[in-house]
């Protein structure tokens, strides 16, 4: 656990920062940022794994920390919920803070019978019901959002070294947390492993800007069986995913 978790995320004058969504200045973030949706998971990663972690952003409670892991700079910052929030924060980190890689560490609901609660999945690509890419680029087709192969290959190797089973496949990224249509079941039948709300937006943003991204998710609930874990468990115990992401970060 970090012994020097300093709280400086709101001390800078807004005029010195590149964006109103982030209190950090250029140079505050490492080249690789781990990005959970939950700000308390960002805080947990900083406190448990990073040495000399410093809070560099807390605007709208999107907690961002930078420290070192095994002697190498790593940052962690919350994305919030959904593609619009992820899209804003990822775009700004890539464009204004010289970040090169973002690793999403989030939760997802299994829509594949072969997965169990607490399984860890890495997304080679993401499908969606959103107009995120089409609206942004005026595309007349459907954009295929994919991970960085280099990051995915590295994460897979790290998982093997850690002894953590990692299932690689496609995610279904939805705009709707409460979905009465049951569409996620149909996406599962087409091979998607799990449903979540951020990966597609992250991948599109990275591809747009020529950067690299990877989504690693832990299964927190199972759409097919109804099994689910509570919020505190999701926040505090998904350490396999965190450790794969951290080991990946220091090898990029």
In which region does residue 18 sit, left (phi positive, over 0), alpha (psi from -120 to 50) or beta (all else)? alpha
Alpha-carbon span 212 to 153, nearest angstrom: 13
User: In the block, which residue shows the tokens 């959970």?
Assistant: 36
Among 120, 130, 116, 138, which Cα is nearest to 172's? 130
Query: How many domains does the structure of the chain reveal?
Result: 1
Which pTM was predicted?
A: 0.93
Tell me whether residue 1 is in a domain.
no
What is the residue range of 57's domain?
6-249
Tell me whether residue 244 is in a domain.
yes
Instruction: Give me the active site residues, please.
Output: 221
Tell me whether residue 160 is in a domain.
yes
Tell me whether residue 50 is in a domain.
yes
The CATH number covering residue 162 comes to: 3.40.50.1580
Alpha-carbon span 118 to 110, nearest angstrom: 10
Alpha-carbon span 72 to 126, nearest angstrom: 30
Q: What is the pLDDT along the chain (252 residues), one digit of tens a residue?
A: 444 566 655 555 455 788 999 999 999 999 999 999 999 999 999 999 999 999 999 999 999 999 999 999 999 999 999 999 999 999 999 999 999 999 999 999 999 999 999 999 999 999 999 999 988 888 888 899 999 999 999 999 999 999 999 999 999 999 999 988 889 999 999 999 999 999 999 999 999 999 999 999 999 999 999 999 998 999 889 999 999 999 999 999
Asked if 119 and 52 touch (Cβ cutoff 8 Å), the reply is no
Tell me whether residue 199 is in a domain.
yes
> For the chain, what is the radius of gyration of the CA atoms?
17
Tell me whether residue 92 is in a domain.
yes
| CB count in 10 Å sphere of residue 234 | 18
226: exposed, middle or buried (Cβ count in 10 Å: 0-12, 13-18, 19+)? exposed
């Amino acid at each position: 656990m970090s012994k020097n978790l300093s709280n400086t995320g709101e001390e800078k004058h807004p005029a010195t920062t590149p964006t109103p969504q982030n209190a950090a200045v250029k140079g505050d973030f490492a080249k690789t940022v781990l990005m959970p949706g939950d700000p308390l998971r960002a805080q947990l990663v900083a406190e448990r794994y990073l040495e000399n972690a410093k809070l560099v952003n807390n605007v709208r409670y999107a907690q961002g920390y930078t420290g070192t892991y095994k002697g190498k700079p790593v940052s962690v910052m919350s994305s919030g919920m959904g593609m619009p929030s992820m899209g804003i924060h990822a775009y700004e980190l890539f464009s204004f803070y010289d970040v090169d890689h973002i690793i999403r560490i989030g939760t997802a609901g299994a829509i594949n019978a072969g997965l169990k609660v607490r399984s860890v999945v890495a997304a080679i690509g993401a499908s969606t019901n959103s107009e995120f890419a089409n609206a942004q680029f005026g595309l007349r087709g459907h954009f295929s959002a994919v991970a960085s192969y280099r990051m995915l290959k590295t994460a897979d190797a790290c998982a093997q070294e850690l002894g953590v089973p990692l299932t690689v496949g496609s995610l279904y990224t939805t705009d709707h947390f409460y979905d009465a249509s049951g569409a996620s079941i149909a996406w599962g039948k087409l091979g998607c492993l799990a449903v979540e709300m951020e990966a597609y937006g992250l991948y599109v943003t990275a591809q747009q800007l020529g950067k690299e991204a990877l989504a690693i998710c832990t299964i927190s609930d199972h759409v097919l069986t109804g099994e689910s874990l509570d919020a505190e468990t999701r926040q505090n115990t998904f350490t396999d995913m965190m450790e794969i992401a951290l080991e990946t970060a220091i090898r990029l």
